C-alpha cells in the first residue's frame, strides 16, 4: 500500500545512497577527521523520527487521523532533514537512513493490517527500486546531486581546467550550446536506463553525460562513418567484447541500457590498467586501448604530458578535453551562466489504441511538453521499433509521462489520425525527374539533348508533344527536359 510519506522522502534518500561514500578511499594526503559528535547527533535523529512515527501510527489506530497524519509528516520531515545533513557530513553513513526508511515501510504495513510479509526482502527491494525510479524520473536539476567521485576523488579535482579544456568549454558554450542542451534533454528520458549502470559501478554520472554529449548528442541511433553505433558509439568488435552483439536481429549497441553497461565495463577495465587516469581512459575509448596502453607503459606519464599528448591523433587530443568540459558543465553550469532546461524525464509504458507508427505517434503528440517535438525521444525510448512501421493496436510503447495528456487528447481523434496517416502513406514520385528549360536562339532538340546528356530527341519531343519530323521550337518556349538527378 502507498501513502504520501513514501514519495515525501524517497528522492532525498536515493540521492544520499549515491553520496554516501563521498569520502571513502580519498586520495587527499591529509584527510579531514570526522566530527563524531555531529555524526552521533544525526544518528539520534533517526531514533527520534522513528519514535515519533510510531506515536503517529498509535494516534491513527485510536481514531485521530488528522492529528496522526500531522505527526507522521513531522517525523518524516525531521528524518529527511537529518538525511540531507548526513550527505554533507564527513563520515556519516547514509545507508542508515535507508534502513530507517525500510523500517518505516514495515511499521506502516503492520499497523494498517497489510498482509504482505513484513520480513520479505523482495518487498523491501521492490520499494527501494520504485523509489529509485521515481528519483531518476524527477526534474533534471536533481541529477547534479548524483555521485561526483571517481575512485575516491572529487571529479572537480580530477578535471584540470587547462587551456585545451577551457577551449572545449568555449565551444560547448558557443556554437555547440544547442547540441549540449539537446544532449541534456535526450539524456533525461534515458536516465532511468543508463544511470543505474553507472551507479552500481560507482562511476560519476557527469562522465557518462560528457561521453554521451561528445559521441552522439544523446541520439540512440547514431552511426559514424567508421562504423561506430549507438548512443555511446561502440565499434562492432569492442561491442562484442562487452556483450553488445545482435539479438533477434537487433544490434544491442542501440540499446541505451546495454550500451551504458558495456561502457561501464570498458571504463573500469581501462581505469584499472591506466592507474585510474581518467584522461588516458577517455583517450583509450576514442583512440584505441592498444596505443594508449603502450604510451602509458613507455612514458609512465599522464595524458597531458607532451610525449603522450603529441603521440596521439588530433581527434583524440580534441576528444578528451571535450568530454571533460561537458562533464564539468554538467556539474557546474552556474559558473558559466549556463541554464539546463528543467525536464520531467519520467516515462510510462502504454499500449497504443490504434494502428500507428512511432512517426505518426510523434505527429499526433505535437509539441505539448517539448517544443521540438517527441520524435527523437520516442525513438530513443523504443530503439527496437522501426519508426515507419505501423504497430498493431495494443502494442506497448514507452512514452514520456509529460506527453500522456497530449496522447489522450489528440491520438484518439479519428479525423486527426486519418490526416496524419495520409502523410505517412505519401510517397515521392518514382521514375524520371524533369527540369524546366527555356528555349534560346539557335536551339534545336538535338542540341538541347546533347547539352543535358540525360535525354534524347525522342524523349524530349514525347514529353512536350513536339511533333516530328520538324521538332519545331519557338524562342522563349518553356519545355521539360529529363534530368539525371
The residue with greater pLDDT, 413 or 39, is 413
Q: What share of the chain is helix, strand, coil (3-state, %, to 5)?
A: 60, 10, 35
Highest-confidence segment of 60-69, 127-136, 224-233, 433-442? 224-233
> Average pLDDT for residues 409-418, to the nearest whole number?
91
293, 294, 299, 300: CA torsion to nearest 10? 30
pTM for this one?
0.62
> Average pLDDT for residues 218-237, to the nearest whole number?
93
Q: Which secondary structure element, helix H or strand E, spans residue 318, and what is its range?
A: helix 314-331
Mean residue pLDDT of the chain comes to 81
For residue 27, what pLDDT is reported?
A: 38
For residue 49, what pLDDT is reported?
A: 80
Model confidence pLDDT, tens digit, residues 135-180:
334 433 355 555 566 777 788 788 889 999 999 999 999 999 999 9
For residue 260, what pLDDT is reported?
A: 97
433-483 has the same fold as 149-336: no
Out of 49-53, 62-66, 113-117, 217-221, which region has the weakest mean confidence (pLDDT)?
A: 113-117
Does 111 score more than 60 pLDDT?
no
Residue 430: pLDDT band with limits 50, 70, 90: low
Does 432 score more than 80 pLDDT?
no
Does 423 score more than 60 pLDDT?
yes
Q: Are 337 and 385 in contact (CB under 8 A)?
A: no
The residue behind cell 517535438 is: 373
Does 259 score more than 90 pLDDT?
yes
> Average pLDDT for residues 190-194, to the nearest whole number?
93
Contacts of 161 (CB under 8 A, 6+ apart): 169, 328
For residue 94, what pLDDT is reported?
A: 61
Calpha distance 360→52 (Å, rounded):
53
**pLDDT > 90 in the chain, percent:** 47
CATH class of 433-483: alpha beta
Contacts of 336 (CB under 8 A, 6+ apart): 169, 173, 329
Following DSSP, what letter does each residue of 170-203 receive, concatenated?
A: HHHHTTTHHHHHHHHHHHHHHHHHHHHHHHHHT-
Residue 484: pLDDT band with limits 50, 70, 90: low
Q: Are 17 and 51 in contact (CB under 8 A)?
A: no
Which of 370, 380, 457, 363 minimizes the C-alpha distance to 416? 363
The residue with greater pLDDT, 145 or 213, is 213
Return the axis-axis angle of helices 314-331 and 177-201, rounded to nearest 10°.
80
Residue 133: pLDDT band with limits 50, 70, 90: very low
CB atoms within 10 A of CB 28: 11
Does 115 score more than 50 pLDDT?
no
**What one-character DSSP code corresponds to residue 474?**
-
Q: b or e along 441-479 (b: 16 or more beta carbons within 10 Å of the residue's beta carbon)?
A: eebebeebbeebeebebebbbeebebeeeeeebeeeeeb
Q: Are 227 and 235 in contact (CB under 8 A)?
A: yes
Looking at CATH, the fold of the domain delimited by 149-336 is given as Lysozyme (1.10.530)
Backbone angles phi, psi at 436, to 5 degrees: -75, 150
Model confidence pLDDT, tens digit, residues 289-323:
999 999 999 999 999 999 999 999 999 999 999 99
For residue 4, what pLDDT is reported?
A: 39
Three-state SS letters, 80-108: HHHHHHHHCCCCCCCHHHHHHHHHHHHHH
Domain ranges in the chain are 4-135, 149-336, 347-425, 433-483
Highest-confidence segment of 29-33, 198-202, 236-240? 236-240
For residue 428, what pLDDT is reported?
A: 65
Amino acid at each position: 500500500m502507498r501513502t504520501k510519506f513514501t514519495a515525501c522522502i524517497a528522492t532525498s534518500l536515493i540521492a544520499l545512497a549515491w553520496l554516501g561514500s563521498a569520502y571513502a578511499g580519498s586520495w587527499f594526503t591529509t584527510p579531514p577527521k570526522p566530527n563524531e559528535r555531529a555524526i552521533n547527533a544525526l544518528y539520534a535523529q533517526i531514533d527520534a523520527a522513528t519514535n515519533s512515527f510510531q506515536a503517529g501510527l498509535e494516534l491513527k489506530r485510536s481514531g485521530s487521523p488528522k492529528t496522526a497524519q500531522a505527526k507522521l509528516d513531522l517525523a518524516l520531515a525531521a528524518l529527511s532533514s537529518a538525511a540531507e545533513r548526513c550527505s554533507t557530513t564527513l563520515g556519516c553513513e547514509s545507508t542508515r537512513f535507508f534502513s530507517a526508511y525500510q523500517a518505516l515501510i514495515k511499521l506502516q504495513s503492520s499497523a494498517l493490517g497489510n498482509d504482505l510479509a513484513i520480513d520479505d526482502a523482495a518487498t523491501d527491494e521492490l520499494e527501494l527500486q520504485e523509489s529509485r525510479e521515481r528519483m531518476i524520473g524527477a526534474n533534471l536539476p536533481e541529477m547534479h546531486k548524483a555521485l561526483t567521485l571517481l575512485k575516491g576523488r572529487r571529479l572537480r579535482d580530477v578535471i584540470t581546467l587547462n587551456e585545451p579544456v577551457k577551449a572545449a568549454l568555449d565551444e560547448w558554450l558557443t556554437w555547440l550550446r544547442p547540441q549540449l542542451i539537446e544532449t541534456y534533454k535526450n539524456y533525461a528520458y534515458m536516465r532511468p536506463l543508463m544511470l543505474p549502470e553507472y551507479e552500481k559501478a560507482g562511476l560519476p554520472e557527469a562522465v557518462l553525460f560528457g561521453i554521451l554529449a561528445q559521441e552522439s548528442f544523446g541520439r540512440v541511433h547514431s552511426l559514424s562513418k567508421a562504423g561506430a553505433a549507438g548512443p555511446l558509439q561502440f565499434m562492432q568488435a569492442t561491442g562484442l567484447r562487452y556483450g553488445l552483439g545482435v539479438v533477434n536481429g537487433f544490434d544491442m549497441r542501440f540499446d541505451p541500457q546495454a550500451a551504458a553497461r558495456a561502457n561501464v565495463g570498458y571504463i573500469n577495465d581501462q581505469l584499472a590498467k591506466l592507474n585510474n587516469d581518467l584522461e588516458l581512459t577517455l583517450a583509450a575509448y576514442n583512440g584505441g586501448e592498444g596505443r594508449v596502453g603502450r604510451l602509458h607503459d613507455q612514458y609512465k606519464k599522464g595524458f597531458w604530458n607532451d610525449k603522450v599528448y603529441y603521440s596521439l591523433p588530433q581527434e583524440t587530443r580534441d576528444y578528451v578535453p571535450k568530454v571533460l568540459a561537458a562533464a564539468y558543465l554538467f556539474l557546474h553550469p552556474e559558473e558559466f551562466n549556463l541554464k539546463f532546461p528543467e525536464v520531467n524525464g519520467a516515462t510510462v509504458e502504454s499500449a497504443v489504441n490504434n494502428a500507428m507508427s512511432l512517426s505518426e505517434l510523434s505527429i499526433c503528440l505535437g509539441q505539448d511538453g517539448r517544443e521540438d517535438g517527441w520524435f527523437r525521444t520516442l525513438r530513443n525510448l523504443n530503439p527496437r521499433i522501426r519508426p515507419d512501421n505501423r504497430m498493431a493496436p495494443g502494442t506497448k510503447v514507452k512514452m514520456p509521462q509529460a506527453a500522456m495528456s497530449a496522447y489522450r487528447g489528440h491520438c484518439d481523434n479519428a479525423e486527426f489520425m486519418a490526416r496524419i496517416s495520409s502523410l505517412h502513406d505519401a510517397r515521392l514520385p518514382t521514375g524520371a525527374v524533369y527540369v524546366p528549360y527555356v528555349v534560346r536562339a539557335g536551339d534545336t532538340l538535338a542540341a538541347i539533348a546533347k547539352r543535358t546528356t540525360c535525354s534524347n530527341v525522342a524523349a524530349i519531343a514525347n514529353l512536350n508533344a513536339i511533333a516530328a519530323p520538324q521538332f519545331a521550337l519557338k524562342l522563349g518556349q518553356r519545355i521539360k527536359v529529363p534530368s539525371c538527378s
